[in-house]
Structure 1
Amino acid sequence: MGKNHQVKSHDRSIKSKKSGFIRLISGKWRGKKLAVLNIEGLRPTTNRTKETLFNWLMYDIHNARCLDCFSGSGSLAFEALSRSAQSVTLLERDKQVCQQLKLNLQSLKIENALVIETDSISYLQQRSTQPFNIVFIDPPFNKSLLQPCCDALENNAYLAKNALIYVEMEKKIDLFTPPSSWELIKEKSTGQVIYQLYKKTN
C-alpha cells in the first residue's frame, strides 16, 4: 500500500508540473505530442530549428547511434527515434525530467532508448565503450557547459569516425573553441541562438 501510494503521489507531482508539449515533426510518430515539464531552464528546440537540423541529417539519421547530452524535453532525441535512429542515449540530471522522458518513451513503446540520470559533464569524463554517430549538444544557456562537453566528447572516445555533432548555443557566448578535428559544415542563427553542425574529420 505504501509503495503504491508513493508512486501515485509522484505521478501527481509530475502532472502538476506539465506546462506544454513538444510535437514530433516527421517520421514514424509524425504529429505526436509529448508532455514537457515546467522546469526552470528547460528550453525545447523550436520546430523551425529542429526541421532545419533534421534536414541537415536527412541522409545520416537512419540506423545512427545517437547521444543527447542535455536531453531536457527530449525533443531532439524523440525526433531522431521517430526518423529511425538505431538507438538514442539521453543524459539528463533533473530527476523529474528523467521520469517524464521515461513516461514518454513508454507511451510510444520505445525500447531502443536509454535515459541516464546524471550530470552530463561528469558522465562524459568516463571513457566511452561505444562511439556515437550523431551527438546533440544543447546545454542550458549561461552555464559554461558547452566547452567542457565538447572537450570530453573528443577526449574520451564518444565520437565515431565521421561523427556529426550538433551544437546549439546563445549568441552572446563568451568563448567557444571546437576541437581541432571538428569541421564546421552547417551554421544558422535565429533570434539569440546559433546552431551549428560539425563533422569529426579524424
Structure 2
Amino acid sequence: MTRRSSSPSRHRRSSSRGTAPGPGPGGRGKLRIIGGDYRRRQLPVPDSPGLRPTPDRVRETLFNWLTGVTPGARVLDLYAGTGALGLEALSRGARQACFVERESRVAQGLGTNLETLGASDRGRVAAQATEVFLAGPATPFDLVFLDPPFRQELAEAACVALEENGWLAPEAWIYVEVEQELALSVPARWQLHREVKAGDTLGRLYRRQARHASPSPAGDAC
C-alpha cells in the first residue's frame, strides 16, 4: 500500500514516510524496482492524489530480512496501491503475487506494469476492496504485505481475517505497516520478528507459528 489520505473511499492517508520519486512525463510519478531481476526498472505510477511508492530505504530493509523467504513464495499484497512490495517480491524470485486494489484505474496500471515487466504470468490483480477479498474463498499465501490506510481502524480486522479465513500458510510471514501510535493487536500465533520505523510509519514483520495440522486450501482466489 502506498497511498496516504483520510478518505475511506480512496483509502489514502497523510504520511511522512520519506521522499517519493517526482512526477514523470505527463504528471506521472515513477516506481523504481531496487533489487532482483527487474532491478533499476522504472515503472509509471498513475496520477492519483497521494499515490506514492513505499520508500526505497524501507523496501531495502524489509527485503534484506526476507532474503531467504521470497524466492518461490506465494505473495499477497493487500491495499496494493502502486504494488511496490509485491513487484519487488516478484523481482526477487517470488513464484506468484496477487495484488488487491480497489481503485480500478490504479489496478489497471498495476496490470500494465506486470505486462511491462513480463511478469503477467506470475502476477494477478484483484480489483476489489481488501475487506471483500478477504471474505471470499481463500487459499494460503507464504508472504503477505498489509499496509492499510492510517487511522481508519482497518489493520486489526484484516489481521483477523487473514488468520481465521485460511489465507496464511502454516509458517507464513506477514509484514504490517501502521501508524506508530497504533497499539495493534495481532493473532496469538503471530510472533514479531523485526520492525522498522520511518516518519510516522511503523513496519513490523511477523512469523506465523505452525500447528501440527493445518486446513487444506479452499481454492485459488487470485
- When the two structures are superposed, what TM-score results if normalisation uses the length of structure 2? 0.80
Alignment partner of 1:189 is 2:179: no
Q: Give the deviation of 1:172 after TM superposition.
A: 2.8
Helix, strand or coil: the match of 1:165? strand
Equivalence map 1:59-138=2 (5 Å): 59-110=68-119, 111-128=121-138, 130-138=139-147
2:55 to 46, 52, 65: 46
Q: Is contact 1:162-1:201 (8 Å) kept?
A: yes
Secondary structure class of the residue paired with 1:25: coil
Alpha-carbon distance in structure 2 between the residues aligned to 1:17 and 1:140: 27
Aligned residues: 186
Q: 1:21 and 2:30 equivalent?
A: yes
Of 167, 176, 182, which aligns to 2:176?
167
User: After superposition, what is the alpha-carbon deviation per residue over 1:114-171, rounded to whole angstroms, capped at 9, x for unaligned?
Assistant: 101011011101241x200000001122222111111100010100011000011111
> What is the alpha-carbon distance in structure 2 between the residues aligned to residue 27 and residue 183 of structure 1?
28
**Structure 1 unaligned blocks of 5 or more:** 1-14
The one-letter code of the counterpart of 2:130 is S
Out of 17, 34, 40, the residue aligned to residue 43 of structure 2 is 34
Any stretches of 5+ residues in structure 2 without a counterpart? 1-23, 211-222
Greater Cα shift, 180-189 or 15-24:
15-24
3-state SS in 2 of match to 1:178: coil
What residue is the counterpart of 1:58 in the other structure?
A: 67
SS across alignment from 1:133 = strand
| Partner Cα separation in structure 2 for residue 118 and residue 16 of structure 1 | 28
Higher helix share: 1
Point out which structure has higher relative CO (alpha carbons under 8 A, 6+ apart).
2
Greater Cα radius of gyration, structure 1 or 2: 1
Residue-by-residue CA offset, 1:29-60 (whole Å, 9 max, x unaligned) = 10000111232343421100000000010001
Give the AA of the match of 1:189. Answer: K
Give the number of the structure whose residues are more often strand, by fraction: 1
